Amino acid sequence: MADIIQINDIKIPELDVYARLSEGQIAHYFEPRAGLFIAESPVVIHRALNAGYRPYSMLVEETLAEGAQGRELIALCPGIPVYTARREVLEQITGYALTRGMLCAMYRRELPTAEQVCRGASRIAVLENVMNPTNVGAIFRSAAALNMDGVLLTYGSSDPLYRRSVRVSMGTVFQIPWTFLDPAEEGDGVGNSGINGRLHGLGFRTAAMALREDSISLADPCLQQSERLAIVLGTEGDGLAADTIADCDYTVRIPMSHGVDSLNVAAASAVAFWQLGIRR
C-alpha cells in the first residue's frame, strides 16, 4: 500500500518536484535517463495510469485523500509516498489553487520513433514550433477526439508533458501516439530534405494549413480522399515557415466570414481534424 505522509514542512526536498523545480528540471530529473512529469487532477492521473505510466509520488489534499475517489487512486499506486496537507498548505507549495486537489509526479517513458507513430496511421498531425503549452494541450485533445492517429512535433514546440499541456489536454496526451522529430531531419521546415520526404516515404501526402491565395479549401475532395494525410500546423502568430508551405503537397485554408482572417492554431486544428479525419 502507499505510504501516507502528512506534510508539516513545505520546504522538504521531496516536494521540490511540485514546488521548486522548473518544467525542464523535472523532465531531466534522472538524466541521462528520462525524467518526470506532473499529472494534475484525478481524471488526468487515472488516464496516465491506464496508459501504463508509473507514479513516482503524489501530493493530495487531505479531504480528497480520505474520500472514495482519492482512496481508489491511491490504491492504484502502491509503494509510493503520498504527501497530504490542507488546501491552504498545498496552495503555498504549488503557488496556485489546486482545483482538483491532486498532483502526481510520474516517470516519463522513452519516446517512440516517427516511424512507429506513423505505422498503420492514416491521419497524422504535425506541429511546427507550436510553443504555447495551452495550444499544444488543446491540439492533442482535438487530435484524440477527432480521428487523428498520432502527432509529430518539431523540437521548437512545447513539450506535451508539461503540466499545463497535460492539464489542458485532459490527459489525452496519454491516449494518442506522439514523438518529437529528429532535429537533423527537420531541415528548413518540413521540406523534401527532411520530414516531408520521410512522410512521403511512409505513404503520406502533406497538407499545410496556411493563409495563401493559392490555397485550396478545407472541403476540397482531394484531401478527404487521401488514404494517408499529414496535417501540418504552424507556430502562433507567424504560422508555418515559407519553406514548409512550399514543400507540402497542398496548401489548405479554412474559409472565414465576417472579415476574420484566421483562427488560433488550436481552434484551426479542431476544424481541420473534424473535416479531414477518417470516421471509424
Q: What are the residues facing 208 on neighbouring strands?
A: 232, 251
- Model confidence band, residue 93 (pLDDT cutoffs 50, 70, 90): low
Q: What percentage of the chain reaches a pLDDT higher than 90?
A: 59
CA-to-CA distance for 259 and 243, rounded, in angstroms? Answer: 27
Residue bearing the bigger pLDDT, 183 or 192: 183
pLDDT score of 188: 47
Spatial contact of 1 and 75, defined as CB atoms under 8 Å apart: yes
Residue 189 is predicted with a pLDDT of 47
Whole-number pLDDT of residue 1? 65
pLDDT tens track for 187-217:
544 444 467 877 888 889 999 999 887 889 9
pLDDT at 194: 63
**Residue 108 above 60 pLDDT?**
yes
Nearest to 30 by CA among 56, 10, 5: 56
Percentage of residues in the chain having pLDDT higher than 70: 92
151, 120 contact by CB (below 8 A): no
> What span, in angstroms and rounded, lies between the C-alpha atoms of 136 and 107?
20
pLDDT of residue 262: 78
What's the number of CA atoms in the CB half-sphere (13 Å) around residue 223? 26
| Average pLDDT value for residue range 26-32 | 92
- Helix then strand then coil, in percent of the chain rounded to 5, is 35, 20, 45
